[in-house]
Chains A and B, each alone.
Chain A
Amino acid sequence: NAGVTQTPKFRVLKTGQSMTLLCAQDMNHEYMYWYRQDPGMGLRLIHYSVGEGTTAKGEVPDGYNVSRLKKQNFLLGLESAAPSQTSVYFCASSSRTGRVYEQYFGPGTRLTVT
């Protein structure tokens, strides 16, 4: 049981390049999320999904796209990277019991855009 895994762990991009971050979970969770973490700002929600084939915008969605073609995977894409997207990206998946959600986080991807 690996929990939530993220690929890659580190990446350096040049401005204008594109990339996809992969998140995978083996807990059969319906809900998945992408956050970014910046110093002094906590974690901010980029996009999320409440089930296979669904996605929705979070607090800071501009410059990112996502897809949830399979229940266990949630992909985050950057079409044209900008230095402002230098950050640590965390994926999470969530169980739900009644109205209580509990999120489990991956180890993170550190992205630098030069």
Chain B
Amino acid sequence: GDSVTQMEGPVTLSEEAFLTINCTYTATGYPSLFWYVQYPGEGLQLLLKATKADDKGSNKGFEATYRKETTSFHLEKGSVQVSDSAVYFCALTDGSGNTGKLIFGQGTTLQVKP
């Protein structure tokens, strides 16, 4: 079945450092890919998405490119801030169905220190 694998956390960075969180997926059909962010004590918020190969999603300085050849959707940010500390989830929707179900990776905790 479809699956998503994220890099293990926690990831600890200093403010203004470059961020990469790796995400790879296995899927049939043509899935859409997402990054969600969860701040402490809150629900998940959509950070960015890409719906077809070579699409780049971007939001709030974060970017990710849908790479079909490497089945990857790595999250990047050029300069992180303390306020970016959160848990980040990579996810995909079933590309061959019509239910919109999300399949999540296990999440990666990011800690940014001043």
Number of A-B residue pairs at CB separation under 8 A? 61
CA distance A58 to B94 in the complex (A): 13
- Give the number of residues in B that approach A within 8 Å (Cβ atoms): 24
What are the interface flags for B35-57 relative to A under an 8 Å C-beta threshold, 1 for contact and 0 otherwise?
A: 01000001111100101000000
A107 close to B43 (CB less than 8 A)? yes
Chain A residues in 8 Å Cβ range of B51: 100
CA distance A81 to B92 in the complex (A): 30
CA distance A90 to B46 in the complex (A): 14
B107 close to A42 (CB less than 8 A)? yes
Please tell me if B102 contacts chain A, counting CB pairs below 8 Å.
yes
Residue among A45, A102, A108 making CB contact with B46, cutoff 8 Å:
A102
CA distance A105 to B105 in the complex (A): 16
- Give the number of residues in A that approach B within 8 Å (Cβ atoms): 28
Question: Which residues of B are interface residues toward A (Cβ below 8 A)?
Answer: 4, 30, 32, 36, 42-46, 49, 51, 89, 93, 95, 98-107
* Besides the known contacts A33-B102, A50-B99, 20 further A-B residue pairs in the complex with CB atoms under 8 A apart: A4-B43, A31-B99, A31-B100, A33-B100, A35-B102, A41-B106, A42-B106, A43-B44, A43-B89, A43-B102, A43-B104, A48-B101, A56-B99, A92-B44, A100-B32, A100-B51, A106-B43, A107-B42, A107-B43, A108-B42
